[in-house]
Structure formats: structure tokens, C-alpha cells
Amino acid sequence: MSETTVLPMARALNAGLRQALIDDPKVLLMGEDIGPLGGVFRVTEGLQAEFGDLRVRDTPLAESGIVGTAIGMAMRGYRPVIEIQFDGFIFPAFDQITTQLAKMRNRHEGQMTMPIVIRVPYGGHIGAIEHHQESPEAYFAHTPGLRLVSPSTPNDAYWMIQEAIRSNDPVLFFEPKSRYWPKGEVNFESSAAGLHQARVVQTGDDVTVVGHGAMVSVLLQAAKVAATEGTSIEVIDLRSLSPIDYGPILASVQKTGRLVVAQEAPGSVSIGSEIAATVAERAFYALQAPVLRVSGFDVPFPPAKLETLYLPDADRILEAVDRSLAY
């Protein structure tokens, strides 16, 4: 494999999972239809043929059972990587994740590790039906004991999945479905940043905009349009949702004096809400305008024909930027 190549995120994840399976014989993959089919999004395509059905296992349609089985395997020294087929399917496993997986290490005073990764394809822009385009990350970021990350590029996907698998804490790995197939450069020699580090992907002077997953590409679109109008936007990719790396965000707000936080998920009691509150607490005197949030609406995810009205786009980002600059 060459040092650098161009891949879609789905193939970068496949390469990252393959490397993890090679590096550690205790790593195994489990999920619905991940074997011969390679998963709904073909992320695990070819891995069962290469590593066998003891390490890449199809499971029954029972998310709670999948997570419970993984907890037992982690207790025996394995490192299970679970695929939840679609975001909305994670809720049958909610109890196992929040009351068992998240608390197991604390119950044993750190003596028992829980090296489990739960892969969650999430978010909109694919024209799917109910329970197939949700953004449930805030439920789990609220739960102590869980780590949450979300890559926005193929390079991050390749490296972050391997770092997540090496973690001795449970990691929910949120994969933006709409970014599975756009291609990007993957450097197989070095990671761009650590698992829980936010990253400035474009520098600017006038307004800071922050997002994660698929929203990062929307923020970059908005920044490109804003530049033609003379506005310089700094774009930050969160990458980690729990813990959140506030260092780059606070440093940027100290420079620009303005912050817009964007997400696909509903706005109330959300990742964006937490960032807005924390920046108001820790950088109040640097702010020249209120922190503004752009999000999905506080309603169930709508039918496919209405998703473009629900999901934040570049126009909604730019409208928030204009409001921030107007103060």
C-alpha cells in the first residue's frame, strides 16, 4: 500500500478495520449482515473472506443482544467492534450501552476494561425513511463512561477507527453516512490528529464556525461563499464529541470574537448547546456577539422529500454568520 492514496470514507474505514484485525488477534467484528454482504454500506466488504467467520461475524437482528455479547467478550479479553446498521436501530441497545457498558469499568474501580467500539452510521442526506437518518449522539455524550467521536474525512476515518479500537474505554464511533462515498486523501503513514483532538481545517479572522461529521463539509461550503463577500471564516472540526477538545475552539473565539455552532441533530439539549454554554462561561469577555446555533429542528426527522428543509445547509450557516457580524 502506498504512503498516500485517494479513497472514499467507506473504503478508508474498511482499510482501518483490516489493519486493526491484522495488528491484534483479539479484535473481532460483529453486526447484522457484515459478513458476506459487507454491511449495508459495504464498509466491511471482503473482511470475512480474509479473516474468517470467527472474527467477522454476522449476528441476529438484536442490538441489545449484540452489545450484551460484546460486553461479555470484552470481559474475556477481546476487543469487539460492533456495527449498528442504522442510527435509529441503536435504541433497542440503549439500556445495555448506558447502564451496563458505560458503567462497567467504574463498578470495578478501573480493574476491568471495556475495549468495545460501537460503529454507528448516522445523519441525513441519503433520502431514507424513519429510523435511518437520525443523529442520536447527544443521548450518549450525556452518559459518563462513554467516549464519542465522529470523523469527517477519509483520512480521519482510517486513523480514528484504529485509535478507537485500541482504547480501553468504550467508544461510540459515529460515521456520517452522507460522507461514505466522497473521496479524500488518506495518508497511511501518519494521523492528522489524536482521537480526541479538535482540528482547525480552515483559518479565518471574522467568525469561528464549529461542527462535526457531515456538517464540516457544509461549513467549508459556507466559508467559501463568505470569502467571495469579504468575510473570513475559521472552520473547526470537533472530531470528538465526548470529551470535547475546547482548546482550539476557545483560541479561535479569542481571535474572532464570534462563534456559530452547527449540527444536524435537533438543537435543544445537544452537543451544540453544550459548546455554546461552555464558550459563554470560559470566553465571555472575548465574545463580541452571542454564540449562535444552527441545527435540525426539534421535531422527528421528516420524510425524505422534506429533509433538505430540515438539515442545515450553507445558506442557514451564512445567515447565522451575518447575524453574528451584525452585533
- In this chain, the answer to whether the domains covering 4-187 and 199-326 adopt an identical fold is yes
pLDDT per position as a tens digit, 147-172: 999 999 999 999 999 999 999 999 99
Residues 133 and 307: beta-carbon distance below 8 Å = yes
Mean local confidence (pLDDT), 279-308: 95
Q: Provide the annotated active-site residues.
A: 132
Better-scored residue on pLDDT, 128 or 17: 17
Does residue 1 register a pLDDT over 70? Answer: no
Grid coordinates given for 208: 469561528
* Per-residue pLDDT at 9: 98
Of 123, 158, 114, 122, the C-alpha closest to 6 is 158
4-187 CATH? 3.40.50.970
Specify the DSSP class assigned to residue 85.
S
* Per-residue pLDDT at 156: 97
Listing DSSP states for 171-201 in one string gives: EEEEEEGGGSSSEEEEESS--SS-TT--EEE
Buried b vs exposed e over 123-145: b needs ≥16 C-beta within 10 Å?
A: bbbeebeeebbbbbbbbbbebeb
Triad 87, 89, 93: Cα angle to 5°: 115
Residues 264 and 312: beta-carbon distance below 8 Å = yes
pLDDT per position as a tens digit, 273-289: 999 999 999 999 999 99
The Cβ of residue 42 has, within 10 Å, a number of other Cβ atoms equal to 16
pTM of the model: 0.96
The Cβ of residue 218 has, within 10 Å, a number of other Cβ atoms equal to 25
The rounded distance, in Å, linking the Cα atoms of 53 and 299 is: 41
Domain 199-326, what architecture?
Answer: 3-Layer(aba) Sandwich (3.40)
* Per-residue pLDDT at 24: 98
Banded pLDDT at 126 (limits 50, 70, 90): confident
The rounded distance, in Å, linking the Cα atoms of 85 and 32 is: 7
The rounded distance, in Å, linking the Cα atoms of 83 and 213 is: 18
pLDDT per position as a tens digit, 60-111: 999 999 999 999 999 999 999 999 999 999 999 999 999 999 999 999 998 9
129-138, 193-202, 241-250: range with lowest mean pLDDT: 129-138
Banded pLDDT at 2 (limits 50, 70, 90): low
- Indicate the domain borders of the chain: 4-187, 199-326
Q: What is the dihedral sign for C-alpha 262, 265, 268, 274?
A: negative
Does residue 192 register a pLDDT over 90? Answer: no
Of 41, 37, 55, 51, the C-alpha closest to 13 is 41
